[in-house]
Amino acid sequence: MEEAILEVKELNIEFHDHELPETVVSDLSFTLHKGEILGIVGESGSGKSMTALAIAGLLSRKDMEKRGEILFRGQNLLQCDRNMLRSFQGDEISMIFQEPMTSLNPVKKIGWQVEESLRIHHKELSKEECRKKALDILEGCELKPEVYDMYPHELSGGMRQRVMIASAMICDPEILIADEPTTALDVTIQEQIIHLLLKLNRKKHTSILFISHDLSLVRRLCENVIVMQHGVMVEQGSAEEIFAEPREDYTKVLTGSIPKVVLTEERRERLLRSLASGTSKTDPRQPLVKTDHLYSYYRQYGKGKVRKVGVLKDVSFEIRPGQVFGLVGESGSGKSTLAKALTGIVKDTKGEIVRPENGFAMIFQDPAGSLNPAKKVGWLLMEPLRIRGIRDKKEMQQRAIRMLEKVGLSAEYMDRYPNELSGGQRQRVCIGIALMQEATVLIADEPVSALDVTVQAQILKLLKDLKKEMDLSILFISHDLRVVYNMCDYVMIMKKGEIVEQARRDKIYFTPKQQYTKDLLNAAGLGDLSITNEIDQEK
């Protein structure tokens, strides 16, 4: 084992902004070694981000109490004075954050921001030397030198996160703290950022503290892992151990909540047979939803003329009764536009759209944002009934209560406001509202992306149960291939408004044809499941 760089001893963080002090981190101890990548995993409220901020010296609220020791270079970062702390910040201990879109100053040039740590900590360097170093580190982070003179809004999310990494690495810090650095990014971009972090770790021997809720990501990146829950360390060990043989119950729940992607022997046989015969069974029933060579456009105003810009290009697909249709794509793939075109929100389309008789009901990604905060749950649940002209108050209430029970809540939630519910409960309410509309097809747009893994597993199970019980068809939009595998029968992959590939689920996952599908599977850590090679060998 290499020497210890950072030692955290019995760290306690308490908030005193309410009557009773609230403990967000309690008795946390761990050691970060030179060149190590240490992962801290936990769900929201586990205290993982608080720990990261405390180490970076960014927790300085007056209503907070920090006890214990954070030892770096023989100094206790919790006790040493601000000047000493600042001399480490950006120079020896750097941090990158979750939101690359907002973590950079919007009115300053990229070069200026990347060089800032140099200007603060290495005053001896001339302007030219700073510039040279900045250009070097930008190149090291696989960015073009032109970026130096650009502003943040001119860059994509992935590029901005590279800029953040460049600005954090410019002084060759001992420790890089990465707080959910890829959560806001697309999977393929996420993969590139992870590779970049690994490269920097190997080249510069920087120790990385990697904070994440994404277990499969931590497993691929980190050597050692700390699992946290409610501010307490639950388990600590090598990543392989923790994922292969979790000792603690919570770790078991956590690892068990990751949707599994496995091909059973039976399904493998079936897949091989259908591949051999070259035909697949088609459902004789009429499709509920269908598009035929669908194109969609939006109007771009500017420079005096209006341009029609194509979003969807030649999209044809069908959803059969009872099917869970998975739609996978990164941002800009047109998956949300497709949902909007189906529901009629996007009107500028060309091509036939067949819609189900009683329309669509929708569930969105952000349950907090899609519920009116000024209305009680009961009122929200009854709204679809009111819109349909039902006036009988008793009947409406009864139906709302029955729906609450259906989505796993109880009658007492009728009088609660959305902000009194947890994220998972809110999403349950959203599902309830959607089902109250009595549509045959449910469009679920990233319904679990904003939720913690354990909650995510519960909501997915609920959706599956309801689907069976009420004979629903679902258009399930997601970027998460593991979740899609668990939910869907049929999968369609989109990129830049076009269909890349669509087929039965197992075909997509185990015998992907298109390179883009393979890239997506690789980024999700599912690349080695492909049996295409085996099939070729058998032939």
Note the residues at the interface with another protein (CB under 8 A).
56, 58, 86-91, 94-95, 97, 99, 102-108, 116-117, 120-121, 151, 153-154, 164, 167-168, 302
Minimum CB separation from another protein for residue 351, in Å?
A: 32
Cβ pair 78, 31 in contact under 8 A: no
Name the residue nearer to another protein (CB basis): 7 or 116: 116
Minimum CB separation from another protein for residue 59, in Å?
A: 11
Distance in angstroms (rounded) separating the CA atoms of residues 186 and 193? 10
Distance in angstroms (rounded) separating the CA atoms of residues 21 and 220? 37
Query: Given the DSSP bridges, would you call strands 349-354 and 305-310 parallel, antiparallel or unpaired?
Result: unpaired
Cβ pair 400, 436 in contact under 8 A: yes
Name the residue nearer to another protein (CB basis): 106 or 284: 106
Minimum CB separation from another protein for residue 99, in Å?
A: 5
Minimum CB separation from another protein for residue 392, in Å?
A: 47
Find where tokens 């039902």 sit: 390
Name the residue nearer to another protein (CB basis): 57 or 447: 57
User: Phi then psi for 239, rounded to 5 degrees?
Assistant: -55, -40
Name the residue nearer to another protein (CB basis): 29 or 75: 75
In order, the DSSP letters of 472-527 are: -EEEEEES-HHHHHHH-SEEEEEETTEEEEEEEHHHHHHS--SHHHHHHHHHTT-G
Handedness of CA 254, 259, 264, 266 (dihedral sign): positive
Name the residue nearer to another protein (CB basis): 95 or 261: 95
Name the residue nearer to another protein (CB basis): 178 or 463: 178
Distance in angstroms (rounded) separating the CA atoms of residues 269 and 145? 52
In order, the DSSP letters of 450-471 are: TS-HHHHHHHHHHHHHHHHHHT
Q: What share of the chain is helix, strand, coil (3-state, %, to 5)?
A: 40, 25, 35
Contacts with 465 (C-beta within 8 Å, 6 or more apart), sequence order: none
Distance in angstroms (rounded) separating the CA atoms of residues 189 and 182? 8
Minimum CB separation from another protein for residue 427, in Å?
A: 26
Minimum CB separation from another protein for residue 152, in Å?
A: 9
Instruction: Kindly report the three-state secondary structure assignment for every residue of 201-255.
Output: HHHHCCEEEEEECCHHHHHHHCCEEEEEECCEEEEEEEHHHHHHCCCCHHHHHHH
Name the residue nearer to another protein (CB basis): 106 or 389: 106
Name the residue nearer to another protein (CB basis): 56 or 421: 56
Minimum CB separation from another protein for residue 301, in Å?
A: 10
Name the residue nearer to another protein (CB basis): 183 or 397: 183
